[in-house]
Chain A
């Protein structure tokens, strides 16, 4: 049972345009959501996060939007650059104990973003 879903395995975008990566979750107990970026042969690196009390968080070219009623979040990258080409993982956590996760990060399967020059 996947609690965090990234339904698009891949996304291709032209340099300078907007990249939108989507993520859905099923567990209403999640109260923090994070995006990680992963280059080949490297570990995932933290990109941006959002608390469930907010609906938007912005950091430079990266903005994360949260729609709690739809249990959906998205990561917008504007403008997209070739160096943004990587796999992006959506992750969620619940501060309160929930089943076996106990506050640990639950990851989606990732979306591979390719930004073409």
Chain B
């Protein structure tokens, strides 16, 4: 157990629908990062929150949004889902605002299947 909790582990939904993925960071970590791993692709950075505020944006679609709540858990909202959104979505956390020698701690991911 890495200490980063992601729910649900699996999600199957239809095109056009909206889903919410949830992440609880490791205790004491202030940063939450969301990554997407599609088939044959590496981990694509989506967005980062630090202590409740958005800090960095990567390749995140406008149909996707996220937030970090006062208790530091984060939610990633995916709307108007398309088949191509099927992927593994990972949440990671770190104590600092930036990546460093210590890296991030990842959760076990949410596998989203859009049918």
Q: Which residue of B lies closest to A91 (CB)?
A: B103
Check B101–A49 contact: CB distance below 8 A: yes
Chain B residues contacting A49 (CB-CB under 8 Å) are 101-103
Comparing B12-20, B35-43, B64-72, B76-84, the segment that makes contact with chain A is B35-43
Comparing A14-22, A35-43, A68-76, A77-85, the segment that makes contact with chain B is A35-43
Q: Which residue of A lies closest to B101 (CB)?
A: A49
Check B101–A51 contact: CB distance below 8 A: yes
Given known A-B contacts A44-B90, A95-B98, A104 and B107 have beta carbons under 8 A apart: no
A32 adjacent to chain B (CB < 8 Å): yes
Q: Size range of the interface on A? A: 20 to 34
Q: How far is the CB of A38 from chain B (nearest CB, A)?
A: 8
Question: Complex formed: what's the CA distance from A99 to B28 in Å?
Answer: 28
Main secondary structure of the interface of A (DSSP, over half): loop
Check B103–A109 contact: CB distance below 8 A: no
Check A100–B58 contact: CB distance below 8 A: yes
Chain A residues contacting B109 (CB-CB under 8 Å) are 42-43
Option from B42, B97, B98 in Cβ contact (under 8 Å) with A110: B42
Option from B35, B40, B97, B102 in Cβ contact (under 8 Å) with A103: B97
A34 adjacent to chain B (CB < 8 Å): yes
Question: Complex formed: what's the CA distance from A42 to B110 in Å?
Answer: 10
Interface string of B43-71 (1 = CB under 8 A from A): 11100100000011110000000000000
Check A100–B57 contact: CB distance below 8 A: yes
A25 adjacent to chain B (CB < 8 Å): no
Q: How far is the CB of B81 from chain A (nearest CB, A)?
A: 22
Q: How far is the CB of B100 from chain A (nearest CB, A)?
A: 6
Residue positions of A touching B, CB distance < 8 A: 4, 6, 9, 32, 34, 36, 41-46, 49, 51, 89, 91, 93, 95, 100-110
- List 11 additional contacts besides A44-B43, A104-B58; criterion CB under 8 Å: A36-B106, A43-B106, A44-B90, A46-B105, A93-B99, A95-B100, A101-B56, A102-B56, A103-B99, A104-B56, A104-B98
- List 7 A–B pairs whose Cβ atoms lie within 8 Å, in order of A's numbering: A4-B42, A44-B43, A46-B102, A103-B56, A103-B98, A104-B48, A105-B103
